Structure formats: C-alpha cells, structure tokens
Chain A
Amino acid sequence: DAGITQSPRYKITETGRQVTLMCHQTWSHSYMFWYRQDLGHGLRLIYYSAAADITDKGEVPDGYVVSRSKTENFPLTLESATRSQTSVYFCASSEWGQGAEAFFGQGTRLTVV
C-alpha cells in the first residue's frame, strides 16, 4: 500500500527496556521525521533526516536514537525506556522545498510502565 506506515500501533514496555518503533514510506520522500505528541505540548520534533545516512536532532532528542540506511525506512529506538517517554509517536515524510507538506503515519501509542 502506498503511503506511510508505522508499527506497532500500540506498545507497552517496561522501564529500562530497549524498544524500536518502525516507520516505512513508499513515496521516496527525501525527508522523514519523528514527532511525539503530549498534552499541552503539541507535536515536538525528536529527530529528522534529510536523506539516507543523514540525520539530525530536533527539539527533544535525548534518550532516542535513529538511523536511516534506506530512504524508505526511519526507525526510532528508545535505548532505555523511561516513563517520561510514554507518549504517542508520529512519523512523517515530505519532499524537499517550500510547499511540500509533511504526511503523517497513524501513530504509535507507547506506554512505559
């Protein structure tokens, strides 16, 4: 299916565990992003990538790791999950340039207990 998909949709993990959220897009967009949505904060950028093998930090990168070995995939790893990382995570992609809006996945609801 064309578009951007995230997996899993829901995840419960324990404090201290490593967990990876997956994101896959079929448009070959250059840019990919990870956001987290928290009440009162809106959508905050965690990491983004301008192209394969190019990643950069966003507003709230601490505790997260990303990689982008292929254009279509952009996994987000929580190295040692903490309760403060309980959130809804959204992956997005866009093409380069002004006018290129970002397209979002359905989100992953992560609960750290």
Chain B
Amino acid sequence: DQQVKQNSPSLSVQEGRISILNCDYTNSMFDYFLWYKKYPAEGPTFLISISSIKDKNEDGRFTVFLNKSAKHLSLHIVPSQPGDSAVYFCAARASGSRLTFGEGTQLTVNP
C-alpha cells in the first residue's frame, strides 16, 4: 500500500521557467511533509518542509503547497536552474519520526 505517491517519474523544464513537482498521500494521520533532493551517488538532502497546520511554506526559490482536503502537496521551483536537476522525493510523517517516501521524480532543467 503506497501511502505517498509521486505519479510523475520524470519532468523536464527550461531554465528560468517554473518546475512543479506533485505528491499525493492517503494517510490522514500524516502531519508533517518534507521534500528531499538527491543527486547521483549521494544521499538525499533535506530541501523544505511544511506542517499540516499550514498551507504554504516558502524558502527562496522553493515553495511547498499543501492541500489537506485533496491530500496533495506540490513543490514549486522558480526560476528553475540547471543545478536543480536531481531526483526529488516527497516524504510524509505521522507521529514520531518515521518518514514514508514517494517513488521520486527526476527533474531535468535544460539550459
């Protein structure tokens, strides 16, 4: 049972444009959501998070939106840069610190 799903395995955008990565979840007990970025041959690194009491969190070029009624969150990157090319994982957590990850989306930003 995949509780966190990223339905797009890949996304390609032009440099300077907006990248939108999507994530859906099924567990209504999730109360904290995170995005991780992963480059080849490296471990995932934390990018941005959002608590379930909020619907938006912004950090520089990165914004995460949470729609609890739809059980959907998205990561917006504006403007996209070639260095943003990586695999992005959505993750969610209920009580405690156990994270459940999605399958990942490979973002390619073309110069």
Interface residues in chain A, defined as those with a beta carbon under 8 Å from any beta carbon in chain B: 30-31, 33, 35, 40-45, 48, 50, 58, 90, 92, 94-107
Alpha-carbon gap, A94 to B36, bound state (A): 14
Contact residues in A for B99 (Cβ distance below 8 Å): 33, 45, 102
Contacts of B76-100 to chain A: CB distance below 8 A = 89, 91, 93, 96-100
Min Cβ gap B33→A in Å is: 11
Q: Give 21 CB contacts A-B under 8 Å.
A: A31-B97, A33-B98, A35-B101, A41-B103, A42-B102, A42-B104, A43-B89, A43-B104, A48-B98, A50-B97, A90-B43, A97-B97, A98-B93, A99-B49, A100-B97, A101-B46, A101-B49, A103-B46, A104-B43, A106-B42, A106-B43
* Cβ contacts under 8 Å, B46 to chain A: 101-103
A45 touches B98 (CB 8 A): yes
A90 to B87, CA, bound (A): 15
A44, A95, A99, A107: the one contacting B41 at CB < 8 Å is A107
Taking A48-B98, A106-B42 as given, write out 9 further A-B residue pairs in contact, using a Cβ cutoff of 8 Å, ordered by the A residue number: A31-B97, A40-B103, A41-B103, A42-B103, A92-B43, A95-B97, A102-B46, A102-B97, A104-B44
Q: Sort chain B's interface into a size bin.
A: 20 to 34
CA distance A45 to B94 in the complex (A): 14
Instruction: Give, as a whole number of angstroms, the nearest-CB distance from B75 to chain A.
Output: 15
A35 to B100, CA, bound (A): 10
Nearest chain B CB to A77's CB is how many angstroms away?
20
Contact A45 B100 (CB under 8 A): yes
Cβ–Cβ < 8 Å partners of A30 in chain B:
97
Q: Taking A94-B97, A98-B51 as contacts, is the C-beta distance between A42 and B43 under 8 angstroms? A: no
Nearest first, the 8 closest Cβ-Cβ pairs linking A and B are A104-B43, A42-B103, A43-B101, A101-B46, A31-B97, A42-B101, A104-B44, A94-B97
In the assembled complex, the CB of B29 is this many whole angstroms from the nearest CB of chain A, namely 13
How far is A61 from B47 in the complex, measured between Cα atoms in Å?
28
**C-alpha gap A99/B99 in the complex (Å):** 12
Cα-based distance from A44 to B36 in the complex (angstroms): 14
Q: Are A105 and B43 in contact (CB under 8 A)?
A: yes
